[in-house]
Amino acid sequence: MTEQNLTGFPSIDRPWLKYYSEEAINAPLPEGSLYDYMIAENKDRMNYTAINYFGKKITYEQLDSRIQECAKALIAHGVCPGDIVSVCMLTMPEVLVLLYAINRIGAVCNFLVLNATEEEIHKQIASTESRLVFTVDLAAGKIREAAVGTSVEEVVVIPLSASMPAPVAWVVKLKSCKEPPMEGMTGWKRFLRQGKRGGLCLSCPSGAMQWQSWNIPAAPQGNPRALCCLIRRSIQWLSIISVHPRS
């Protein structure tokens, strides 16, 4: 695109293309979702290390297990394809888990800058109509305040020490500031436990869900939208849903 034709919108002008060759620009893009691509590229080395976090190694197989667990919890909390989930975190394994899990079920991950002001975060959350926000415990109070007056129904708080090896985690826990629990906030472990209710099976590709007959996950108390979402998603994906008889 010439200088005269520039619109000023990077998503349209794509100024980064000037750094790539014609061959690279015209190369076919991977098909499927981000999650699909990650699994496909590492299917023959699932026992290899995917993340090395403070010396604690997490294999691709372990990472995928965490992603599946998180994806089920997201669905149990009523997250549907196309929904925008906001994430305001530090660089930690749970960020990758959330990114791939959100992508896995066809939702959109909206990353927020942790050092932004409450007003800036409030605008981002409000503009995306996020109902669910994930943040690290160090910023829990700030995010909760920023979420006031928006569509946010729940703030999930993840401990900074969640994936740290024991010695480092102990130090972090001792130094971390313990804030009293606030209404509308949920702990990471409690959030994940919600996904274990029922028999949701994420065995179909590209975010398609496969439901086990007679064992549909129950909607969490106080969140009837989860059940409505199950019905809506079942109608939308009728052609790719497989129902198996109870064994």
Using 50, 70 and 90 to split pLDDT, how confident is the model at 168? low
- Shared domain check, 157 and 124: yes
How many structural domains compose the chain? 2
- State phi, psi for 83 to the nearest 5 degrees: -65, 150
- Shared domain check, 133 and 109: yes
Report the pLDDT value the prediction gives residue 106, as an integer from 0 to 100.
Answer: 95
Neighbours of 222 (CB within 10 A): 9
* Of 174, 156, 182, residue with least CA distance to 89: 156
- Shared domain check, 206 and 143: no
169-196: average pLDDT: 68
Over the stretch 4-17, which tens digit does the pLDDT of each residue have?
678 889 889 989 99
Helices (H), 50-110: 60-76, 93-104
- Percent of the chain clearing pLDDT 90 (strictly above): 53
Domain stops at, among 160, 175, 194: 194
Nearest-angstrom CA–CA distance, 22 and 28: 12
Q: What is the CATH number of the domain that holds 99?
A: 3.40.50.980
Q: Where are the beta strands (DSSP E) in 15-94?
A: 49-53, 56-59, 84-88
> What rounded mean pLDDT belongs to the chain?
79
pTM of the model: 0.73
14-37: average pLDDT: 91
More confident residue, 170 or 164: 164
238 Cβ contact partners less than 8 Å away, ≥ 6 residues apart = none
Q: Is residue 5 part of a domain?
A: no
Query: What torsion do the CA atoms of 46, 52, 53, 56 make, to the nearest 10 degrees?
Result: 80
Q: Is 60 exceeded by the pLDDT of residue 26? A: yes
